[in-house]
Amino acid sequence: MLRAQGLDFSAGGKTIVRGAALHVDAGECVGLIGPNGCGKSTLLRMLYRVLPPQRGQVWFEGQDIWRMDARAFARQAAVLAQASAPAFDSTAREAVMLGRLPHQGRFAADSAQDQHIVDKSLKRVGAASLAQQSMATLSGGERQRVLLARALAQQPRLLFLDEPTNHLDVRYQLELMRLVRSLGVTVLVVLHELNIAAQFCDRLYLMQAGALVASGTPREVLTPEAIHGVFGVRAAVDDHPATGRPRIAYWIDHD
């Protein structure tokens, strides 16, 4: 579905991403992990057609995304970015209706279909009761769910998420990721927390200093050696007693 090759990006004389190549197949949930500042978000922004790569190419269904019309791409792919406070307040429903924008004509009013899709999207993320509330009064977890509903209102086939669980309580982290997996869309997600990645992703890419250094299933990628090499901590990996997925425990040596 999505394929990228040889992506380079540098700014201020510093290389941020170099030679990144990856692919996401239909129906997969692919995670992108790595330490702070390794270039995960920059790579993701090149993939969702906001940041033009300085070298390399990205294809969606075999089409170069930079040759696609921005609106056409927005009908295929949606983004849930890291939460930031909006300067102007709107209701949750208005925020979700914005997701219909790539489907709407200039002068057309919101159609009955738009209304229906917005209601359905809010319901799917369990935020139907928040529809008329102002975004400023929502908690971090509620706001992320509303913004996920906006992404769903775009009716995308591919969903990009940039650290969607940042600043959320552990319950909301798990709920949000379970929700994302239940949507039936293809997902590429940047994650901070390795246990979340291990639990919810089919495949992982491990990134270090701008380069993708390992890829495969969580069990293949999240080895104690790889974690030590990239994150600089000691790790033990065993099976999660409830989910059966890899479980990582970390420590740091006293020396």
Partner 1 sequence: MKTSAWALVLLILLALAVLAGVAWGSAQLGIAQVWAVVQHQLLQQTGQASAVPDGVLPHYQIVWMIRLPRVLMAALVGAGLAIVGVVMQAMVRNPLADPYMLGVSSGASVGAVSVLAWGVLAGAGLYAIAAGAFLGALAASVLVYLLAQQRGRIPSARLILSGVAVGYMCTGLTSLIMLTSGQRDLANALLGWIMGNLAGTQWPALGLPAALLLLGMAWLLAQARQLNALLAGDETAATLGVTAERLRRQLFVVVSLLTGVMVAVSGAIGFVGLVIPHVTRMLVGTDHRRVLPIAALMGAVFLVLVDGAARTWFAPMEIPVGVFTAFIGGPFFIAMLWRGAAREER
Q: How far is the CB of 245 from partner 1 (least distance, A)?
A: 30
Do 212 and 23 touch, CB atoms closer than 8 A? no
Please identify, using beta-carbon distances, which residue of 81 and 177 lies nearer to partner 1: 81
Please identify, using beta-carbon distances, which residue of 39 and 218 lies nearer to partner 1: 39
Residue 11 binds to partner 1 (criterion: CB under 8 A)? no
Please identify, using beta-carbon distances, which residue of 97 and 248 lies nearer to partner 1: 97
Q: How far is the CB of 154 from partner 1 (least distance, A)?
A: 7
Residue 132 binds to partner 1 (criterion: CB under 8 A)? no
Neighbouring CB atoms inside 10 A of 130's CB total: 23
Report the alpha-carbon distance of residue 48 to residue 77 in Å, rounded: 7
Report the alpha-carbon distance of residue 161 to residue 30 in Å, rounded: 10
Q: How far is the CB of 69 from partner 1 (least distance, A)?
A: 8
Positions in 35-54 near partner 1 (CB under 8 A): 45, 48-50
Q: In this structure, are strands 186-191 and 29-33 parallel, antiparallel, or unpaired?
A: parallel
Distances in whole angstroms, Cα of residue 189 to Cα of each of 81, 122, 165, 177, 212: 10, 21, 10, 10, 15
Positions in 71-100 near partner 1 (CB under 8 A): 71-75, 77-79, 81, 84, 86-91, 94-95, 98-99
Do 199 and 33 touch, CB atoms closer than 8 A? no
Q: Give the tokens for residue 217.
A: 């299933």
Please identify, using beta-carbon distances, which residue of 94 and 202 lies nearer to partner 1: 94
Please identify, using beta-carbon distances, which residue of 127 and 198 lies nearer to partner 1: 127
